[in-house]
Amino acid sequence: MATPLEKWVDEQAKLTTPDRIYWCNGSEEEARRLVEIGIKEEKINGLPVFQKLNDKHWPNAYFHRSHPTDVARTEHLTFICHPDKETAGPNNNWMDPREAKEKMTKLFSGCMKGRTMYVLPYMMGHPKSPYAKACVQITDNSYVAVSMRLMTRMGKEALDRIGSSDDFVRGLHSIGDLNPDRRFIMHFPQEHLVWSFGSGYGGNALLGKKCFALRIASYLGLKEGWLAEHMLIMGIEDPKGKITYIAAALPSACGKTNLALMQSALPGYKIWTIGDDIAWLNIGPDGRLYAINPEAGFFGVAPGTSLKTNPQMIKTLKNDKFFPTLYTNTALDLDANEPWWNGLDGAIPKNIEDWQGNPWNPSMDTKAAHPNSRFTVSIYNCPSLSNEFDNPAGVPISAILLGGRRSSLVPLVMEAFNWQHGVFLGTRTGSETTAAAAHQVGVLRRDPMAMLPFCGYNMGDYFGHWLNIGKKLKQPPKIYSINWFRTDEDGKFIWPGFGENIRVIKWIIDRIGGKTGAKETPLGLVPELKDLDLSGLNIPQDKVKKLFAIDPSEWTAELQDIEKYFGQFGSHMPEAIWQEYRALAEKLGQSKSSKK
């Protein structure tokens, strides 16, 4: 008798009619073969899927150029298909599941004719972890198959875990014809199912990542009592050798990867990386919050990555341990046949081809690499990988950092008064948009806990779930708001960021250890300037003050925007968050603006 998995694969094959079906085992030998197929046989948009690059400085490097209309997540084409619209909430595009399936069935009908169907069994999380989930993705694209080998734990362990059960997350993907009019990313949280058509871009096509590990998993977390979050996880070793684990949520392209691999600018501190994008947070047997990274690779923003900003990532990319390393929509140094992007170390090469294959030179006002060009690399290549990465139990989290990209208003760092206030800090977070999704860049939008594009249900209920988790924790982590992106009169970042962020983290660790005080403001607790280690940094005192400036008059519009945002969630909005809102408005002397 066929197992539920075999039956499902068979049904998808009947629908999509591929020429061949190939079950991936996740081995290196197989990845080498798939890359060869991507170089010699498979084409996208008339171009080979992979181009081999020079191995001398960038081991195992392969280049992938995606369709020019397919270079970022497409939030307007992403739907959450709960049976009723209210469960999806105002934060999501919604479609009736029946209507969505009808639409998608038409698109998927016969779409793999002439192509190979790759069946990818994979684990999100360590196979031995009680928090891990087994999944299977089907795709018709070798770039996606190879990327999934890097980003997940693919192969036999997932198949063993699934066995003859039907307890696995299903993902059906086809790049279709890459026509944006026929591009949809449909989520069916109740069925643990994703259908994605018409895109080969990371967040749309690597279904283990945002589609499952956040959108579907956040809904599973609501049902099962845990949290799936858009967070990095890191350990910070202090000069005495004590390691403190923290998780941090920042919206897309706002600094998670850079923070997770940070090289400390303060002597004696060392960073251990566990994850750079997604954290699953569970209440452990001792009542503390434990984090695992369900992924096994980095899909990171290339531009700006250099020995100066992120030396550990450059070392990760230059490590030849795990095959292969992919570069998507970067520029190329044609003389060296190497990847190149704006901000990379060294002189600008003479003979550059931009991400679309056109000649490029620095006098042009375009970017050589697409602003959302990315590398895909195994986490096992990372020299700062924590020994705890493969610990099935995860790591105990002492602090949660919630941040955004704000050129004004929001201080560099701020501690919440308590868990409920911390949740409020997260719910009201705003951030200026980036190139990680296809929309206008630099526009302020509310992005609670950096989860706006990734919460698979009504965000009002999500806020309530956060509050409930806090109540169940014996020792809830302290919550902090962070903002690396405040600018001066000339529009320049005031805070140097990157490795210097350790100075903020050090204050946080000192707070956790009860070693330092804090100053109360209407917004939260901020450092006394004497407690923030700025030694060796050349920031004038008035600029430092500016990093923490709170001007109540600037907050009028902000409070109105927050109130409007919260109002959308109607009866789903927890009263406790409104209470926090009213308390803040009152402290800022603006209680009149609060209606509720």
Can you give the binding site for ligand SPV, defined by CB under 6 A? Answer: 73, 202-203, 209-210, 252, 277, 299, 436
Please tell me which residue in 81, 111, 211, 254 is annotated as part of the active site: 254
Query: Residue 300 binds what, of Mn ion, ligand GTP, ligand SPV, none (CB under 5 to 8 Å, by partner type)?
Result: ligand GTP
Nearer to ligand GTP, 116 or 501 (CB): 501
Q: How near is the Cβ of 258 to ligand GTP at its closest, in Å?
A: 4
| Count of residues interacting with ligand GTP (CB under 6 A) | 21
Residue 353 pairs in a beta bridge with 332, 359
Residue 258 lies near ligand GTP (rule: CB under 6 A):
yes
Distance CA 370, CA 376 (A): 15
Query: Residue 304 binds what, of Mn ion, ligand SPV, ligand GTP, none (CB under 5 to 8 Å, by partner type)?
Result: ligand GTP
Residue 134's CB is within 10 A of a number of other CB atoms, namely 22
Helices 4-16, 97-108: crossing angle, 10 deg rounding: 60
Residue 277 lies near Mn ion (rule: CB under 5 A):
yes
Distance CA 412, CA 591 (A): 25
Residues 171, 255, 404, 456: which binds ligand GTP (CB under 6 A)? 255
Q: How near is the Cβ of 252 to Mn ion at its closest, in Å?
A: 5
What token pair was written down for 108?
């998927």
Cβ atoms 69, 183 nearer than 8 A: no
Could you give the angle at the alpha carbon of 461 between the alpha carbons of 457 and 463, nearest 5°? 110
Nearer to Mn ion, 369 or 451 (CB): 451
Nearer to ligand GTP, 276 or 295 (CB): 276
Q: Assign residue 418 a region: left if phi > 0, alpha if psi is -120 to 50, beta otherwise? A: beta
Nearer to ligand GTP, 451 or 559 (CB): 451
Could you give the angle at the alpha carbon of 398 between the alpha carbons of 209 and 458, nearest 5°? 45
- Residue 237: C-alpha distances to residues 255, 308, 500, 507, 544 (Å): 20, 21, 15, 14, 26
Q: How near is the Cβ of 476 to ligand GTP at its closest, in Å?
A: 24
Nearer to ligand SPV, 244 or 330 (CB): 330
What type of residue is 457? Y
Distance CA 530, CA 558 (A): 30
Could you give the angle at the alpha carbon of 75 between the alpha carbons of 70 and 76, nearest 5°? 95
Residue 276 lies near Mn ion (rule: CB under 5 A):
no
**From 185-193, 393-401, 497-505, 545-553, span contacting ligand GTP (CB under 6 A):** 497-505
Distance CA 269, CA 510 (A): 13
| Count of residues interacting with Mn ion (CB under 5 A) | 2
Which 8-state DSSP code applies to residue 305? -
Cβ atoms 163, 136 nearer than 8 A: no
Q: How near is the Cβ of 379 to ligand GTP at its closest, in Å?
A: 13
What token pair was written down for 593?
């603006």
Cβ neighbours of residue 544 under 8 Å, at least 6 residues apart? 529, 532, 534
Torsion of CA 5, 11, 14, 15, to 10 degrees: -120
Query: Residue 484 binds what, of ligand GTP, ligand SPV, Mn ion, none (CB under 5 to 8 Å, by partner type)?
Result: ligand GTP
Query: Residue 73 binds what, of ligand SPV, ligand GTP, Mn ion, none (CB under 5 to 8 Å, by partner type)?
Result: ligand SPV
- Bond preceding residue 324 cis, omega within 30 of 0: yes
Does the annotation count 254 as an active-site position?
Answer: yes
Residue 275 lies near ligand GTP (rule: CB under 6 A):
no
Site string for ligand GTP, 284-313 (x = CB under 6 A): ----------------xx-xx---------
Residue 497 lies near ligand GTP (rule: CB under 6 A):
yes
Nearer to ligand GTP, 304 or 396 (CB): 304
Helix H or strand E encompassing 316: helix 311-317
Q: How near is the Cβ of 501 to ligand GTP at its closest, in Å?
A: 5
Catalytic residues: 254
Task: List interacting residues with ligand GTP (CB under 6 A).
Answer: 250, 252-258, 276-277, 300-301, 303-304, 436, 484-485, 493, 497-498, 501
Task: List interacting residues with Mn ion (CB under 5 A).
Answer: 252, 277
